Structure 1
Amino acid sequence: MLNRLKAYWPAAILVLLIMAVIDGTLSSLLTCHPVSAQTSGSADHQQTKEQCTALGGPILISLRWIAGVTHKYEGLITAAFTVVLAIFTGRLWYSTDKLWGATTDLVKGAEDTAQRQLRAYVYVDPGNGEIRIGLPISIAMLVKNAGQTPAHETRVWTKVEVIDFPLRENLKIELPDDAVPKLVIHPGTFAYGIQIQRDAPLTATEGAALRADSKRVFLWGVIFYKDVFNRDRETHFRLSFGGEAFAMKKLQWCEDGNTAT
Structure 2
Amino acid sequence: MLRLRAWLFFSLLLLIGILLVGTAPSFQACLKQEQPQAAATAAPQSHGTTVLTARSTRECLTRFYTENRDDIVAGFALILLLSTIFLWFAARDLVAGTHDFAKMQLRAYLGPSETFITGVAAGEKPVVECTIRNFGQTPAHRVSYWADCRVLDSMADSFERGPPEGGERTVNPGRDGFTIKSRLPEPLTEEDMSKIKLGTSAIYFFGAITYRDAFARSRKTQFRFQHGGVRLFGTEDMTLSPKGNRSS
Q: Are 2:186 and 1:200 equivalent residues in the alignment?
A: yes
Equivalent residue number for residue 233 of structure 1: 219
Distance (whole Å) between structure 1 residues aligned to residue 173 and residue 135 of structure 2: 6
Distance (whole Å) between structure 2 residues aligned to residue 108 and residue 173 of structure 1: 39
What secondary structure sits across from 1:223 in the alignment?
A: strand
Equivalent residue number for residue 250 of structure 1: 237
2:142 to 153, 157, 181: 153
Calculate the TM-score normalised by the size of structure 1.
Answer: 0.63
Matched residue count: 183
Superposition pairs for residues 62-73 of structure 1, below 5 Å? none
Equivalent residue number for residue 200 of structure 2: 214
Distance (whole Å) between structure 1 residues aligned to residue 170 and residue 212 of structure 2: 9
Equivalent residue number for residue 103 of structure 2: 115
Distance (whole Å) between structure 1 residues aligned to residue 141 and residue 103 of structure 2: 15
What's the CA shift for 1:85? 4.4
Counterpart contact for 2:148–2:162, Cα < 8 Å? no
One-letter amino acid matched to 1:212: L
Counterpart contact for 2:162–2:207, Cα < 8 Å? no
Equivalent residue number for residue 128 of structure 2: 139
Calculate the TM-score normalised by the size of structure 2.
Answer: 0.66
Superposition pairs for residues 1-261 of structure 1, below 5 Å? 80-81=68-69, 83-130=71-118, 131-167=120-156, 170-172=157-159, 174=161, 176-177=163-164, 180-243=166-229, 244-261=231-248
One-letter amino acid matched to 1:219: F
Distance (whole Å) between structure 2 residues aligned to residue 84 and residue 209 of structure 1: 84
Structure 1, gaps ≥5 residues long: 1-75
What's the CA shift for 1:201? 0.9
Percent identity at matched positions?
29
Larger Rg: 1 or 2?
1
One-letter amino acid matched to 2:239: Q
Counterpart contact for 2:225–2:238, Cα < 8 Å? yes
